[in-house]
Amino acid sequence: MAIYEINGGHPLNGSVTISGAKNAAVAILPAALLVSGKCRIENVPDISDVHILLDILRGMGADIRFPEPHVVEIDSTAVHCTEPDKNLVQEMRASYYLMGALLGRFGRAHVALPGGCNFASRPIDQHIKGFLALGAEVDENEDYVALKPGPDGLQGNRISLDMASVGATVNIMIAATLLPGQTIIENAAKEPHIVDLANFLNTMGARISGAGTDTVKIRGVNSLQGGTYAIIPDQIEAGTYLAAVTAVGGNVLVQNVIPKHLECITGKLQDMGAKVIPFDDSIRIIRSGRLRSSTAKTRPYPGFPTDMQAQVCVCMALANGTSRMTESVYETRFFGYCSELESMGARISIESKTATVVGVEQLHGATVSAHDLRAGAALVIAGLAARGTTRVQNIHFVERGYENLIGKLTALGADIKRIEE
List strands edge to edge, sheet with 158-160: 158-160, 182-186, 215-219, 207-209
The domain spans of the chain are: 2-19+233-420, 22-230
Rounded Cα distance, 280 and 256, in Å = 9
Residue numbers annotated as active site:
117
Confidence tier at 116 by pLDDT (50, 70, 90) = low
Percent of the chain topping pLDDT 70: 97
Mean pLDDT of 339-363: 96
Mean pLDDT of 57-75: 98
pTM of the model: 0.96
pLDDT single digits (tens) 4-59: 999 999 999 999 999 999 999 999 999 999 999 999 999 999 999 999 999 999 99
Q: Which residues have C-beta within 8 Å of that of residue 244, sequence separation ≥ 6?
A: 12, 311, 380, 381, 384, 409
The conformation of residue 73, written as its DSSP 8-state character, comes to E
pLDDT single digits (tens) 161-181: 999 999 999 999 999 999 999
Q: Mean pLDDT across the chain, nearest whole number?
A: 95
Mean pLDDT of 144-159: 97
Name the maximum alpha-carbon separation found in the chain. 66
Fold of 2-19+233-420: UDP-n-acetylglucosamine1-carboxyvinyl-transferase; Chain (3.65.10)
Q: Which residues have C-beta within 8 Å of that of residue 283, sequence separation ≥ 6?
A: 238, 242, 253, 254, 257, 259, 262, 266, 276, 277
pLDDT (0 to 100) of residue 114: 82
Contact 113, 144 (CB under 8 A): yes
Contact 13, 227 (CB under 8 A): no
User: CATH: 3.65.10.10, 3.20.20.140, 3.40.50.150, 3.40.50.300. Which one for 22-230?
Assistant: 3.65.10.10
Percent of the chain topping pLDDT 90: 93
Q: Is residue 118 pLDDT above 70, yes or no?
A: no
